[in-house]
Amino acid sequence: MEHWIDDAIIYHIFPLGFCGAPVKNDFHSQPVNRLDKLYQWIEYLKDLQINTIFLGPVFESEEHGYDVADYYQVDRRLGTNEAFQHLVAVLHEKGFKVILDAVFHHTGRNFFAFQDLLQNRENSVYRDWYAGIDFHKTSPYGDPFSYESWNGYYNLCKLNLTNQAVKEHLFKAVKYWIDEFKIDGLRLDAADCLLPEFMEELKGYTKEWKKDFWLKGEVIHGDYNQWMGTGMLDSVTNYECYKGFYSSCNDTNLFEIAYSLNRQFGENGIYKNKRLYNFTDNHDVNRLTSQLKDSTHIYPIYGLLFTMPGIPALYYGSEMGLTGKKDPCHDHHLRPALELDSFVKTAPHPHLKETIKKLAKIRKENLPLKQGDYQQLLVNHQQLAFRRTFQQEETLVIINTSPKKQPLKFKINSPENTLYEDLLAGKSYTIKNQHLELEIMPNWLMILKRT
């Protein structure tokens, strides 16, 4: 069944960084509608062919958004509920879907239930809201009890998602976001740490509240089928291909990404007919241009992003080659404030945006690229060719990561004299003796549509 996500070109923004918000929330200052900055970006994003905006954490938190203090209140550093409600309404009017980040595995220490636990200890009515509470031990913060955290970060206090009151609080928050802000989907933070039963319940409720609501989970490792499918999430983060994008280029070894693509989406692919969330970078990892040994590899990589099965997502600023590396102490370099005018004038790779616009437009207009099967035709160290088919339509994609022009000839089971049009260059190629012969430019790609 068709879903709006099949047409989605996602733009991922980390709001607190993007808007230049203060690093810490004092919980006393008057709200500042910094998210209104997005109004300035609407035409830019439409020109980029974006139709879906994914906003990282927007609800009240102490620092980076993943240490939630209030699920029902927009972070005062970003604005008010009313201002955000209006922003989403305008984005919808302009044709955008809006996805929010949902942090349900843990809260921050300023969350009301944890504060009550600190004050009332054994007598707190919220003592069962958190996992692993032990009043015979102390926490690294010196609290008179210990508790479970996310990944050893004790400012991220693990919720007890088997507690009915906890689930009700979270599910009511989601319904509030749907009713008041009209959001279209959620990204579940740390989904690989959430209980399957919790996600199943959430899926059931959201589909009741909004039939086409979309749920994506953050999953790093493992078999993604554990989290996707009937009754579970609609999609998960494709970290396998994220890694393959840059390491295949850096190691002169397209066999790596080809193996992943075939394993995931080929004839016997384990995620065939599922829509993984594909990305080249995000708020937690180095920018693509900071991972590559040769920055010109960004062109074939983004070519892959927009032509492989799944949902393509851009991380803000990377569409023009913004750089950024993780710091051992913080992620600020990955989540910078951006001013549109200055960013456009000083972007490291301004021509990349025009290529991405073309790729996004081609994808939107090409059913095989959105919903088609995947079949590999050729793989070597620096070239990859595959076929996408949907019903009677067919599209071929050829990737070249060599710094030189590359002549290619490969077998393809199409009738003699079948004509293919290069959607990027406007040239045409004809099948001769069941072979396609062509020359591909350095660090580039070809998208050939059967006419």
Q: Are residues 342 and 429 in the same domain?
A: no
Query: What CATH number is associated with residue 426?
Result: 2.60.40.1180
Residue type, 295: S
Q: Using one digit for the tens of pLDDT, what is the confidence trace for 143-176? A: 999 999 999 999 999 999 999 999 999 999 999 9
Q: Which residues of the chain fall below pLDDT 50?
A: none
Query: Among 340, 369, 398, where does a domain finish?
Result: 369
The rounded distance, in Å, linking the Cα atoms of 262 and 386 is 10
**338 and 410: one domain?**
no
Residues 51 and 189 in one domain: yes
Is residue 359 located within the same domain as residue 433? no
Same domain, 304 and 383: no
Helix (H) or strand (E) holding 373: strand 373-379
Q: Minimal CA–CA distance to 113: which of 152, 158, 177?
A: 158
3-state secondary structure 152-213: CEEEEEEECCCCHHHHHHHHHHHHHHHHHHCCCEEEECCHHHCCHHHHHHHHHHHHHHCCCC
Structural domain including 328 reads 4-369
| Residues 388 and 304 both lie in one domain | no
Domain final position from 307, 337, 369: 369
Question: Do 99 and 198 share a domain, yes or no?
Answer: yes
* The domain boundary residue, chosen from 354, 369, 384: 369
- Given CA atoms 297, 298, 302, 308 in this order, what sign does their dihedral have? positive
Together in a domain, 89 and 225: yes
Together in a domain, 350 and 386: no
Residue 402 CA to residue 25 CA, distance in Å, equals: 48
For residue 272, what pLDDT is reported? 94
Please tell me the pTM assigned to this model.
0.97
Q: How many domains would you assign to the chain?
A: 2
Q: What CATH number should be reported for the domain holding residue 119?
A: 3.20.20.80
Residues 90, 224: one domain? yes
Same domain, 362 and 390: no
